[in-house]
Amino acid sequence: MLCSALFGEHFAQCVRGDCTIRSNSEGTLGLLGVHGWLASEPEEFKRWAELSGKWRVYQPGQFLYFSGDPSDGIYGLESGSLEVTFPLVAEEPVVLHRAQVGFWVGDNGELSDTPRTISLMAATECRMLHLPRLAIRKLLADDPKHWQSFYRLATINTTVAVGLLAEALSLTLRARMCRRLLLLTDTSIDVTVTQEDLSKMLGVYRSTLRPILNKLAKSGAIELGYRRIRVIDRAILASFRDEQ
């Protein structure tokens, strides 16, 4: 699998402390109230998240955390996109996933009380809702029934990980790319991603991916632009999603 070159020897020079942090005094979940894990949780739990969460804004290239960091809670993506990476060989990271609105992360380290296993970077400007570790611990100590909500999140993320593995093992590159484009443009016809970014997500070289993208563009399925891809016909992409 092609490794990302985003991490250098100055790996730890993250400007995490410079992110904009705001209390959630407005008492709203934004798009997280209608997309993703939290949207389906009980009203009591959502109200707790509204009162306990803090909004954080990250600029492109900023890291939320690194693999090996201690857990400080969980994060929900309300706008923008995140790049999820895993250190594989000599701590050089592999891009695992490009997360979109409604994605929640951090449950693994938080529930198991172990260091982070992945690194998380803002691919574009991101608005995140942070549920702090201390608030989570107090909630669970006061009312253990809420463990089920967090385990539902863990199940969602495990399903995503297993699904990506199954795709990589059984589907053609065209099918995997079409699935990724459909996912990335679920809420918009445009995806702010370069061909290089897309090749890293799929674990191939850009030169391998380019002919497939060009054929899809000629078929009218997509339109290629500078640092973006526009989906024109989702039905064409969907017709290749199960290709083996």
Per-residue pLDDT, 27:
60
Q: Give the chain's residues under pLDDT 50.
A: 1-17
CATH 2.60.120.10 range(s) for the chain read 16-167
For residue 62, the number of C-alpha atoms closer than 13 Å in the C-beta half-sphere is 19
**Could you tell me the two tokens for 142?**
């006061």
Helix (H) or strand (E) holding 202: helix 195-202
Q: What digits encode the pLDDT tens for the residues 69-112?
A: 999 999 999 998 898 988 876 666 777 788 888 999 999 999 99
User: Torsion angle of alpha carbons 6, 10, 13, 14, nearest 10°?
Assistant: 20
CATH T-level fold of 172-239 = Arc Repressor Mutant, subunit A (1.10.10)
Beta bridge partners, 128, equal: 56, 77
Where does 16-167 sit in CATH, by number? Answer: 2.60.120.10
Closest CA to 203 of 230, 166, 176: 176
Query: Are the beta carbons of 98 and 201 closer than 8 angstroms?
Result: yes
Rg (CA), the chain: 18
Distances (CA, A) of 199 to 16, 113, 180, 209, 227: 27, 34, 11, 6, 13
CATH 1.10.10.10 range(s) for the chain read 172-239
Q: What digits encode the pLDDT tens for the residues 200-209?
A: 778 888 889 8
Per-residue pLDDT, 2:
37
Task: Indicate the pTM of the whole model.
Answer: 0.76
Per-residue pLDDT, 189:
67
